[in-house]
Structure 1
Amino acid sequence: MLEADLRDALRSHLQKLERPVELVASLDDGAKSAELRELLREIAELSPLLSLREDGGDARKPSFRIVRSGSDVEVSFAGIPLGHEFTSLVLALLQVGGYPPRIDPELAEQVRALEGDWRFETFMSLSCHSCPDTVQALNMLSVLNPRIRHVAIDGALFPQEVESRQVMAVPSVFLDGEPFDQGRMSVEQIVARLDRGAAQREARALDAREVFDVLVVGGGPAGAAAAVYAARKGIRTGMLAERMGGQVADTLSIENLISVPYTEGPRLSAALEQHVQAYDVDVMRGQQAAQLLPAAALGEPIGVRLQSGATLRARSVVLATGARWRNMNVPGEQEYRNKGVTYCPHCDGPLFKGKRVAVIGGGNSGVEAAIDLAGVVQHVTLLEFDARLRADEVLQRKLRSLPNVRVITQAQTTEVVGDGSKVQGLLYTDRASGASQRLELEGVFVQIGLLPNAEWLRGAVALSARGEVEVDARGATSVPGVFAAGDVTTTPFKQIVIAMGEGAKAALSAFDHLIRLPAPQGAEDAVEPEAQAA
């Protein structure tokens, strides 16, 4: 089942196992159970520390548990974790087998100290590139603290459960049978929810941070480049990142990053994080900026107040908060968000297999989404506000060749309708005739561009009419000492390679600004006595 090169790579990884691990399978006579049995047999043969048995004890079939022999440490999968989840499987095998998880020691102790019993279930899709982060985070928690249990469930193999729980977006996490959260989650974010006092302790720790020379706000390509370039100057560098990778983490395929013919968003996000960690950068994850407090006078620290209430201080700041998917802002959109309204065709498309869906937007992202969905769903209707599609012609030709796609131009979406629990249709106005029309469908995929994450900066720095941070050729904003880069700015052409270059530029401009400032108060005291005598 596993190709030879993949089997060899897995055998090499499994040499890191330190303790015996048992694979305990629950299978039936179905074809998927046969596939899982074959996969588990192949894996068990790759290490003398692995063994396999079938007990049929789990109600979900096919499923299996990865159990540390002689202990209560285990991780569970309901399904066949290949595709994007193969890495989750490998990490689970290693961590249950005693290989230490890559996690901050203080955070690990915080997880071990959590009291209570927690039963998590994550509904995921093998084509979802956001799901592995959440699955791996919860798996890691269950390894560190056996009172935490987690099972990752492939929704495609358990459609009745997906339907009964009204799962219409992945990853969807349930705690003790009740909805917990949706979307990509980190260990830090989950622990903050479970440990009620964690947020307050973290806020106090952040408040106590010394003044940074450069504080980068944002963990995407622009922010990562800025942090690396600043740290290479040997100055005190901090990075505030709600999540590493930013919007890139939600991108499936990347083919225009020069010198890298092909990569995927999660892989690039991991590479960005690894590069930042190679330098002396104080990375503060899972934190969101709420307010910029410009310095009262030249050379005084600039403040960045966080949602938690903490305030970080820096002699210069690089804003790299990126952008997010734009909403339609019509009735029903928020009510049915993740109940049929979604923004990620790669993640959520498999949940709509055999159903009728609409894609809103006729640019490259909208047409690409329609093409991808056409191979999964029963029918796709693409609605475009303008009189013609704006996507590249090569994409339009591909779209027109598909028999189960309909394109409607001059269509203004006016409402998403449903029964209170899920989407049932969509209303739009024909801009040519003024007539109102209704489409009967189960899913709406919104692909209408990006919105800069700059609301928190309103009143602090100059913003354009589109809400973007205005920057000059050096990346400088309207406030001395504050620079900006990437998709949050007025720089044209929102591309990864451009964001990286702009991030580097902003960091160099920040350094240039710093060397022209008066020496920080007290710096004279730090001069060596020999130098003073000279």
Structure 2
Amino acid sequence: MLDDGLKTQLKAYLQNLRQPIELVASLGEGQGSKDMLALLEDVAGTSDKVSLNLAGDDARRPSFAITRADGSADVRFAGLPLGHEFTSLVLALLHVGGHPPKFDAEVLDQVRALEGEFRFETYFSQSCQNCPDVVQALNTMAALNPNITHVAIDGALFQAEVEERQVMAVPTILLNGQPFGQGRMSLEQILAKLDTGAVAREAEKLKTKDAFDVLVVGGGPAGAAAAIYAARKGIRTGVAAERFGGQVLDTMAIENFISVSHTEGPKLASALEQHVKDYDVDIMNLQKAVGLVPAKTPGGLIEVKLENGASLKSRSVILATGARWRNINVPGEAEYKNKGVAYCPHCDGPLFKGKRVAVIGGGNSGVEAAIDLAGIVAHVTLIEFDSQLRADAVLQRKLASLPNVRIVTSALTTEVLGDGSKVTGLTYKDRNHDQVHTVDLEGVFVQIGLVPNTEWLKDSVALTQRGEIEVDHRGETSLPGVFAAGDATTTPYKQIIIAMGEGSKAALSAFDYMIRLEPAVPAEQEAA
């Protein structure tokens, strides 16, 4: 099952096992069971601390459990943990075998302290990029706390179960038989849902923090770059992020990050976080900002209010909250996101070379996307809700000159179609005649705009009608001491590499702002 190279790597990893573990297999007669047996024999053959037991009685077959002799861990895989999930298998073996997980000690202690019974089930697919984070987080929890069990289920292998439970996307998480979550979730996010007191404890901890010199709100490319540039100046720097990595976490392939020919969103996000951690930066993850209070005096402390009730103060603030893609909100869109449904033609367009795609949206962004894609793909169908395109005339003329583009106006997209793993087409309704049409294709690019994550700032800094933060060439906002960068701003071209540059610029501007201030007023005097 495993080639010699993988066996050699696995043998090296399993040298880190600190105690014996047992693989308990529940097998049937099919090919899947034969493949699983071969995989487990290969795993057991790489370490004398791993034994194989073929007497498992799990109803799901093929499946296997990774256990300790004392029964204090129960991590299971129903189906073959290959593809993206092979790393999940390796980590599960190590963690059940006593090798410490690479999480903060406080997080691990929080897992160990959970009381109650937690039976987790996660449906995954081997090609799913978001699934490993969930599977690995829950496996880690099951390895640390005997009250927690987890089984990762390959949805493709257990189709009847998937249909019965109406699982329409992966990863899907069930807790004690009930829906718990869907999509990418980190260990910290799972803990926040389970440990109801964690939010209050974290809020109390945040309230005790001293004021920052620079507080970055947002942990995407702009926020990470801003934090690094600020920290390199030797000033007290903090990052408050709702989800470190931001929208990059949801990006499948990145091929336009200069000097890196190819990477994946989660990999880049992890590298960003590690780079920030190389410096003395206080990272406060899972923190959603809900309010911005200007300084009471010139050069005084600016306050950022958080959803959990805590507040953070800083001499300067950099807003890097990013944006989210505006959805068309039709059946199939969420299910096939990153499986044919895409939002960035610059990033993902080359992946559809020679295929048929649709672009939803007839404004400048939609028409520009169609023109861009027409040079790569076999055919583009542009679908616009209005009776005419809204893009600039020069763009419309260019689009009309392309032989492999079809323009459909007065059309309402009604559904994205797929075969369970990828997009196969879409349906739209002719608004003039109420007829429904089907278009066969492999990709759907939604281009109806971005939604800046700035709703919480509407009474604090100047925003455009679209909600973008107005910034000047230095990244300054309308509020003294507050800077902004990235997709949440009026800076054109929402690209990762541009966001990083803008974040760096905002940090340098914030530093320049601070060194020109009068000596800081002590916080206790300002509060008085």
From 390, 397, 400, the counterpart of 2:378: 397
Query: Which segment drifts farther, 60-69 or 268-277?
Result: 60-69
Cα drift, residue 344 of structure 1: 4.7
- Asked whether the equivalents of residues 385 and 412 of structure 1 are also in contact (C-alpha less than 8 Å), the reply is no
- Asked whether the equivalents of residues 415 and 428 of structure 2 are also in contact (C-alpha less than 8 Å), the reply is no
The corresponding residue for 2:385 is none
SS in 1 for 2:470: coil
Cα drift, residue 69 of structure 1: 2.8
What amino acid is the match of 2:195?
D
- Asked whether the equivalents of residues 172 and 182 of structure 2 are also in contact (C-alpha less than 8 Å), the reply is yes
Cα drift, residue 70 of structure 1: 2.8
User: In 2, distance between residues paired with 1:25 and 1:168?
Assistant: 28
Paired residues, number: 490
SS in 2 for 1:260: coil
What amino acid is the match of 1:447?
V
- Asked whether the equivalents of residues 411 and 429 of structure 1 are also in contact (C-alpha less than 8 Å), the reply is no
From 433, 436, 439, the counterpart of 1:435: 433
- Asked whether the equivalents of residues 302 and 314 of structure 2 are also in contact (C-alpha less than 8 Å), the reply is yes
Per-residue CA shift, 1:347-373, capped at 9, x if unaligned?
Answer: x67xxxxxxxxx69895678678779x
What amino acid is the match of 1:38?
A
- Asked whether the equivalents of residues 384 and 409 of structure 1 are also in contact (C-alpha less than 8 Å), the reply is no
What does 1:20-419 align with in structure 2 at a 5 Å threshold? Answer: 20-328=20-328, 333=330, 340-342=332-334, 344-346=336-338, 363=345, 382=358, 384-386=360-362, 389-397=370-378, 409-411=407-409, 414=412, 416=414
Q: What stretches of structure 1 of length at least 5 have no aligned partner?
A: 350-358, 375-379, 401-405, 526-534
The corresponding residue for 2:395 is none
- Asked whether the equivalents of residues 67 and 73 of structure 1 are also in contact (C-alpha less than 8 Å), the reply is yes
Residues 361 and 197 of structure 1: is their aligned pair in 2 closer, same or farther, counting only changes over 3 Å? closer
Asked if residue 487 in structure 1 is aligned to residue 487 in structure 2, the reply is: yes
Residues 363 and 409 of structure 1: is their aligned pair in 2 closer, same or farther, counting only changes over 3 Å? farther
Q: What stretches of structure 2 of length at least 5 have no aligned partner?
A: 382-403
Residues 483 and 3 of structure 1: is their aligned pair in 2 closer, same or farther, counting only changes over 3 Å? farther
Residues 304 and 211 of structure 1: is their aligned pair in 2 closer, same or farther, counting only changes over 3 Å? same
Per-residue CA shift, 1:279-334, capped at 9, x if unaligned?
Answer: 111111111111111222212111111111211111111111111121226xxx4x
User: In 2, distance between residues paired with 1:399 and 1:58?
Assistant: 49
Residues 52 and 412 of structure 1: is their aligned pair in 2 closer, same or farther, counting only changes over 3 Å? farther
Residues 83 and 394 of structure 1: is their aligned pair in 2 closer, same or farther, counting only changes over 3 Å? farther
Per-residue CA shift, 1:74-128, capped at 9, x if unaligned?
Answer: 2111111122222211211111111111222222222211111011111122222
User: In 2, distance between residues paired with 1:364 and 1:234?
Assistant: 36
User: In 2, distance between residues paired with 1:293 and 1:478?
Assistant: 13
Residues 447 and 466 of structure 1: is their aligned pair in 2 closer, same or farther, counting only changes over 3 Å? same
- Asked whether the equivalents of residues 249 and 266 of structure 1 are also in contact (C-alpha less than 8 Å), the reply is yes
User: In 1, distance between residues paired with 2:146 and 2:336?
Assistant: 33
Identical positions, percent: 55
User: In 2, distance between residues paired with 1:367 and 1:35?
Assistant: 36
SS in 2 for 1:511: helix
- Asked whether the equivalents of residues 345 and 369 of structure 1 are also in contact (C-alpha less than 8 Å), the reply is no
The corresponding residue for 1:447 is 446
- Asked whether the equivalents of residues 323 and 450 of structure 1 are also in contact (C-alpha less than 8 Å), the reply is yes
What amino acid is the match of 1:82?
L
User: In 2, distance between residues paired with 1:186 and 1:289?
Assistant: 19
Per-residue CA shift, 1:409-466, capped at 9, x if unaligned?
Answer: 3255547489xxx9xx9874437xx222325799996733432211111121111232
User: In 2, distance between residues paired with 1:407 and 1:150?
Assistant: 49
- Asked whether the equivalents of residues 382 and 408 of structure 1 are also in contact (C-alpha less than 8 Å), the reply is no
- Asked whether the equivalents of residues 462 and 470 of structure 2 are also in contact (C-alpha less than 8 Å), the reply is yes
Query: Which segment drifts farther, 308-317 or 385-394?
Result: 385-394
Residues 444 and 493 of structure 1: is their aligned pair in 2 closer, same or farther, counting only changes over 3 Å? closer
Residues 413 and 327 of structure 1: is their aligned pair in 2 closer, same or farther, counting only changes over 3 Å? farther
User: In 2, distance between residues paired with 1:438 and 1:34?
Assistant: 47
User: In 2, distance between residues paired with 1:491 and 1:187?
Assistant: 34
User: In 1, distance between residues paired with 2:231 and 2:360?
Assistant: 45
TM-score normalized with structure 2 length: 0.85
Q: Considering only aligned residues, what root-mean-square deviation do their CA atoms show, in Å? A: 3.2
Cα drift, residue 238 of structure 1: 0.8
- Asked whether the equivalents of residues 343 and 446 of structure 1 are also in contact (C-alpha less than 8 Å), the reply is no
User: In 2, distance between residues paired with 1:68 and 1:285?
Assistant: 33
Residues 343 and 155 of structure 1: is their aligned pair in 2 closer, same or farther, counting only changes over 3 Å? closer
What amino acid is the match of 2:433?
A
User: In 2, distance between residues paired with 1:459 and 1:278?
Assistant: 35
The corresponding residue for 1:353 is none
- Asked whether the equivalents of residues 287 and 306 of structure 1 are also in contact (C-alpha less than 8 Å), the reply is yes
User: In 2, distance between residues paired with 1:123 and 1:14?
Assistant: 26
- Asked whether the equivalents of residues 304 and 313 of structure 1 are also in contact (C-alpha less than 8 Å), the reply is yes
Query: Which segment drifts farther, 292-301 or 310-319?
Result: 292-301
Cα drift, residue 212 of structure 1: 0.9
The corresponding residue for 1:355 is none
User: In 2, distance between residues paired with 1:168 and 1:408?
Assistant: 31
Cα drift, residue 177 of structure 1: 0.7
Per-residue CA shift, 1:1-55, capped at 9, x if unaligned?
Answer: 3343333222222221111111112221212222222222222222221122222
User: In 1, distance between residues paired with 2:504 and 2:371?
Assistant: 31
Query: Which segment drifts farther, 407-416 or 280-289?
Result: 407-416
SS in 1 for 2:10: helix
SS in 2 for 1:467: coil
